[in-house]
Amino acid sequence: MTRKQKRFTVIFGALALLGVAVALVLTALSDQVTFFRTPTELLAAPEENSGRIRLGGLVEMGSVTNAESSGVQFAVEDANDRILVRYSGILPDLFREGQGVVAEGQLQQDGTFLADTVLAKHDETYMPKEVADRLKEQGYWQGDEVSATQ
Amino acid sequence: MIVELGHYALVLALMLAVLQTVIPFVGVKTGNARQIAMAPNIAFAVFAALAFAFTVLTWAYVSSDFSLLNVVENSHSQKPLLFKITGVWGNHEGSMLLWVLILALFGAMVALFGSNLPPSLRAMVISVQGLIAMAFTGFILFTSNPFARLSPAPLEGNDLNPILQDVGLAIHPPLLYLGYVGFSISFSFAIAALIEGRIDAAWARWVRPWTLAAWIFLTAGIAMGSYWAYYELGWGGWWFWDPVENASFMPWLAGTALLHSALVMEKREALKVWTILLAILAFSLSLLGTFLVRSGVLTSVHAFASDPTRGVVILAILVFFIGGALFLFALRSSSLGNGGMFHPISREGGLLLNNLVLTTATATVFVGTLYPLLVEAVTGEKISVGAPYFDATFVPLMIPLLLAVPFGPLLAWKRGDLFGAAQRLYVFAGIALLAGLATVYFATGAPVLAAVGIAIGFWLLFGAFAEVWQKSGLPKAGMTKAIYRLRGLPRSVWGTAFAHAGLGVITLGIVSVTAFQEEMVLRMAPGDTTELAGYAVTYEGAQSRRGPNYTEDVATFQVSQDSDPVATITPAKRLYTARGMPTTEAGIHTTGFSQIYIALGDPVEGTDQIVVRLWWKPQVTLIWFGPVLMVIGGLFSLSDRRLRIGAPVPSAKRRQTLAAAE
């Protein structure tokens, strides 16, 4: 192999690898991305949001019930609307009525939301950022500006 | 009073860091030997000042000095002593102070152990370190001062976030920071080389131990954090591809690539420019990690409340260092000269493949982590990129590399013999294939991918020792001769073997848990028994207990197999009284490499039932046992003779001839 051929092999290999990586990334980004929706947005266009969704809002007061044999049910609300969420797992420690929550899963035919993950936070003063932003846009929740403790 | 001294020491450290930046730099530029010689002493002084400030803060925590805002917010007089101390870095201000303290420590270590470096290079490295220390000490003083006073002082503090009151979290941040900040040394060496416009094999040899040490700490830190999240959060997950986790994983990937490319440079003086770029990249990603964690711009499951204005300042520091370094790189890298070329099938070629794959993989993680930020900035749409993205990009990219790893060490420098290497590896390939087939056979209905994964794991594990096996001359050479030969092997050969084997062990653990884990969520009343992976698990009841700063409900589960008792597992739900914050303490029983993992949910109202989540985690501990092997490999490599010698010194004989010639 001449010097030129060696260099060509290396550059060709690198470009091929890069090409594969770009292809993988683009495919993954087109179908593995989860959109964030509030109840209002989700119910306004259920067909467009039939894939995996992160549903965010406040847990409605008094809505948490042990519905199924091992599951819980609670409603997520924003300024205009609410959605019933079903979840069969253990709720995170900091899950509270009247506080922000993000549930990940899919909207079902019957209009309920089946969650496989309910996001927990490490900090009791923490409000999920996306939830806080959207609810403030709606003027529904002002929030105390998160204190500068950590 | 003593707190004011600590505050003063911090201000002093900032002033000294300015001197550390300016004096050695000017000294090198003007050729002033006295100024160059001052560099190490200033580095020691900066370290001493920061160490004093840190000690004072620790003292304030231990003595529960509630006139300090930082102590009030993160401590409590009833907290156990250990957590009073670890509480120092369990918050933003304290952890940033730890960050610069470690930075100054590394600067002082270069000053201490760098006596075999050319004085101008050492001075330049110390100067760049000083610049970083200056930026971050300034950041602490002006935006997040841990010594801010509170008047009047409250009688009691708010306590530390309970999930941080854990031994795992006591060690995790310091380890991680030692890793992150350790890469600052390779960065400073790279900048110094660019400024001086000179780089050679000796440079790579000097940088290697620092990179290696940083890599060891980062490996241990990431593994520790993963295990902490696994047992403390009660979700039974060990990696979430969460932005905060990715933030520590990207520097690790880049650092691993740097370790391998520095090898090529040291042995063959090739890949010079590339190695410099990787050194810049590894530390840049560390800075990015600090920014992502500290600014809270990304939604993370590990997120804590954060203050956006600080994020802006860190971002400015980030842009200055990364942008400055890349600018300097663009300007000066051509002056470093081209390295040697090599045949694609060779040791260099193998290491280059490692580098290409690792940097590409880093890039995919980078894209996945920051894409949500980009989308939100452009369209306002909030999205999240989770595990499915990384499974679809990172994993397929890594598989070819995992397959190639055992070949690498068997290829010769310059020009390797792929066929010869394959001949020496077919036995190990056979073992791997058998393991894969056994998986399919024993675990009926096992997915094909799981069998492939197990085969790859064994291929890596055994293939890692192919070089050692070959050099021992076994089975022909006989035992005594083989042992003699093995003892004579350079330590770095063992280092490579252990680190690569660790990769295999991690692969085995990940595949096993992903494919074969069993999970169930159910309601149990006292006396109920359930079946989990061949074990009978009986819930016996719960009782309340008091801890030092919490109360807890502890549930007792009896585990038995064929009616023989195996273990008692006691998961708990705790309520930390100071903050009124509940936490879940998972109950874990380890048998072999596998674990039974039980987490408690809430009691079902109106009954004596409780929601229980049980997991069978087959071979899960391998995921953290692998990094332990990697760390051992790193330590072997670090103790290699050639690193302790440092710069290549002509042999005694040659020195004599040189002296005679003069």
Taking the Cβ of residue A140 and every Cβ of chain B, the question of whether any pair is shorter than 8 Å is answered with: no
Q: Please give the pLDDT value at position A63.
A: 83
Q: Is the model's pLDDT at A149 over the cut of 70?
A: no
- pLDDT for residue A30 is more than 90: no
* Best residue of A32, A130, A135, A137 to probe chain B, by most B CBs closer than 10 Å: A32
CB contact under 8 A, A90 and B344: no
Torsion angles phi and psi, residue B174, rounded to 5:
-60, -40
Interface touch B383/A70, C-beta < 8 Å = no
- What is the pTM (predicted TM-score) of this model? 0.90
Q: CB distance from A66 to chain B under 8 Å?
A: yes
Would you state the pLDDT for residue B8?
95
Among partner residues B303, B361, B363, which is closest to A121 by beta-carbon distance?
A: B303
B613 vs A90, A121, A134: nearest CB: A90
Rounded Cα–Cα distance for residues B594 and B554 (Å): 23
Of B92, B397, B521, the CB nearest to A88: B521
* pLDDT one-digit tens code per residue, B92-119: 889 899 999 999 999 999 999 888 888 8
Asked if B385 and A33 come within 8 Å (Cβ–Cβ), the reply is yes
Q: Where are the beta strands (DSSP E) in B533-652?
A: 535-546, 550-561, 564-569, 572-576, 581-585, 587-591, 594-603, 610-617
**Which chain B residues have a beta carbon less than 8 Å from that of A133?**
382
Banded pLDDT at A145 (limits 50, 70, 90): very low
pLDDT band at B308 (very low <50, low <70, confident <90, very high): low
Q: Is B110 in contact with B24 (CB distance < 8 Å)?
A: no
Within 8 A of B296 by CB-CB distance, chain A residues are: 129
Average pLDDT on B10-33 reads: 95
Contact A13/B344, CB-based, under 8 Å?
yes
Cα–Cα dist A75/A78, whole Å: 10
Distance, CA of B327 to CA of B321 (rounded, Å) = 10
* A137 pLDDT more than 80: no
Reading the block at residue B505, the tokens are 């062990």
Does the pLDDT at position A114 exceed 50? yes
> Which pairs with CB-CB distance under 8 Å and at least 24 residues apart come from B566-569?
B566/B535, B566/B591, B567/B591, B567/B596, B569/B537, B569/B596, B569/B598
SS3 per-residue string spanning B390-414: HHHHHHHHHHHHHHHHHHHHHCCCC
In chain A, pLDDT over 70 holds for what percent of residues? 78
- Is residue A26 within 8 angstroms of chain B, CB to CB? no
**Two structure tokens written together for A147:** 């204190």
pLDDT of B661: 47
Q: Is the pLDDT of residue B582 over 50?
A: yes
Among A6, A21, A123, select the one facing B363 at the smallest CB separation: A21
Which bin fits B152, alpha (ψ -120 to 50), beta or left (φ > 0)? beta
Q: Give pLDDT tens digits for B201-222.
A: 888 888 889 999 999 999 999 9
Q: Is the pLDDT of residue A150 over 60?
A: no
Residue A17: helix, strand or coil by DSSP? helix
Confidence of residue B314 (pLDDT cuts 50, 70, 90): confident
Instruction: Check residue B167 and give its pLDDT.
Output: 82
ipTM attached to this prediction: 0.81
What pLDDT is stored for residue A69 in this prediction? 60
Give the model's pLDDT for residue A148: 30
- Among B556, B605, B600, CA closest to B582: B600
